[in-house]
Structure 1
Amino acid sequence: MSTITMDAPDTALGMVEPVLRVRDLHVSYGSTAALHGISLDVHAGETVALIGANGAGKSTTLRAISGLLKTRSGSIAWNGTSIANRPPEEIVAAGIAHCPEERHVWPGMTVEENIALGAYLCRSKDEVRTRMGMAFHRFPRLRERARQLAGTLSGGEQQMLAIARALMSEPRLLMLDEPSLGLSPRMAEEVFEVVRAINAHGVTVLLVEQNIHNALAVASRAYVVKTGRIAAARPTADLRGDPELLKAYLGG
């Protein structure tokens, strides 16, 4: 079996400064420690995946970055500026959007109303309409269902709705938490085609994904998270090409 090594966070892209730099991040839920010194980098234009077992700390990492959880110690820098423990709305305004696990759409509101919620920091009605038009251009299926209640959509359509809502803030970094959760393989692939297209248009992506195949197919680099720590940082090509290495990182 291949020797397990862990690259330093910056080595994958040389000395280029990352847009997101997380160092020695510790987060607790009450008296229970959830993250034990997470460090990671994300560079502009990348899609980076966090992979690992349920409960490893992947979603907690995203929630700490987006300001939904307070950090106990460590640092989070966005374009060189500290954002640790800043209010979530300030982090959204800085250019980071978080599409949460299980989507959290408002079932009793229409598709159009749900999407508009993502532009709550935008003060111009004309700009909201422009962004809404772009959302419907990206997601033609949602345009067809604009007046339909979100609760009547399929799981895949609700995931697209959640992504469209997140994109209304025009983020430079989109964080996606389990976008294929509960979806059929066909619908999951459709959602990941959307993720690829978003990244191709210049949006950096940080992805948490339980389906290892999907994560490694869409990302260029991956961090393996185990019990609140980074166990490995590797190009996804290495992990795809060495199943034994991936099995070692993930513990079987």
Structure 2
Amino acid sequence: MSARTVLAVSDLTAAYGNATALHGVSLEVREGETVALIGANGAGKSTTLRTISGLLAARSGRIAWEGKDITNWPADRVVAAGLSHCPEERHVWPEMTVEENLRLGGYLCGSRREVDRRAALAFGRFPRLQERAGQLAGTLSGGEQQMLAIARALMSEPRLLMLDEPSLGLSPKMAEDVFAVVRDINRHGVTVLLVEQNVHNALSVASRAYVLETGRVTAERNAGDLRDDPDLLRTYLGG
């Protein structure tokens, strides 16, 4: 694993109206890592991803991608720079087919041929989606919709993939399949920043983890240390 930092977030603040959601969040992601953001509901995990990806404006602080300041770039420019965001609750277009949903992820491609190439790669990685290419996305199972959302995010060929709650609402078996996909994506060179409510699932794929509490980073630890020490987990997360 390279030690080169590709994403550096420094003293980031963000708000929804008058309600401040992030209070000086700082974190870094190195090339080739999977880094998890963990914490209770409302801790600011999803807000952190939304601010990095340009869906929510930062009030202050800095977001640097490969050394370049991308703070408050529009979302399409963030995607073009090499970051892709797979949102919570999947947000597939239910009245469009699996293939149509997938191809929409390649909207920044310069040609139809390039979209075709990326779609073929996606179907090769997700054979279940290829079997259902002509099926309406709204008729897929929750796990299949999650696979589609991840495949669609990969259509931009990101160097950093941000995943928000990929196992939300899934059966344990389907969640296991999704995290196998996350491992495979990372093995093939895509750096991953993961938000996941299921702490043990998150720590099973991550190399490092940041703990968020009420919009603040309260700890950064090696994922293995947290995974193997229940007392340490309780110290940071309660319960």
CA distance in 2, matches of 1:43, 1:147: 38
Residue number in structure 1 paired with 2:238: 251
What do residues 27-71 of structure 1 show as CA deviations (whole Å, max 9, x unaligned)? 011111000000000000000000000000000000000000000
Residue number in structure 2 paired with 1:190: 177
CA distance in 2, matches of 1:210, 1:219: 13
Residue number in structure 2 paired with 1:237: 224
Mean CA deviation greater in 16-25 or 47-56? 16-25
Q: For this pair of structures, how many residues does the alignment match?
A: 239
CA distance in 2, matches of 1:194, 1:62: 20
Residues 25-174 of structure 1 mapped to structure 2, 5 A cutoff = 25-174=12-161
The unaligned stretches of length 5 or more in structure 1 are 1-12
Which secondary structure does the structure 2 equivalent of 1:107 belong to? Answer: coil
Counterpart AA for 1:230:
V
**TM-score normalised to the size of structure 2?**
0.99
Counterpart AA for 1:224:
V
Aligned mate of 2:208, from 205, 216, 221: 221
1:210 aligns with 2:197: yes
Which secondary structure does the structure 2 equivalent of 1:49 belong to? Answer: strand
| RMSD (Å) for aligned C-alpha atoms | 1.0
CA distance in 2, matches of 1:80, 1:162: 28
**TM-score normalised to the size of structure 1?**
0.94
Counterpart AA for 1:221:
R
CA distance in 2, matches of 1:54, 1:249: 14
What displacement does 1:251 show? 2.5
CA distance in 1, matches of 2:187, 2:224: 19
- Give me the identity figure in percent: 72
CA distance in 1, matches of 2:161, 2:57: 20
CA distance in 1, matches of 2:149, 2:236: 31
Counterpart AA for 1:156:
G
CA distance in 1, matches of 2:8, 2:110: 30
CA distance in 1, matches of 2:221, 2:118: 36
CA distance in 2, matches of 1:121, 1:99: 16
What do residues 159-217 of structure 1 show as CA deviations (whole Å, max 9, x unaligned)? 00000000000000000000000000000000000000000000000000000110010
What displacement does 1:17 show? 3.6
What do residues 62-121 of structure 1 show as CA deviations (whole Å, max 9, x unaligned)? 000000000000000000001110000000000000000000000000000000000001
CA distance in 1, matches of 2:155, 2:120: 10
CA distance in 2, matches of 1:188, 1:124: 34
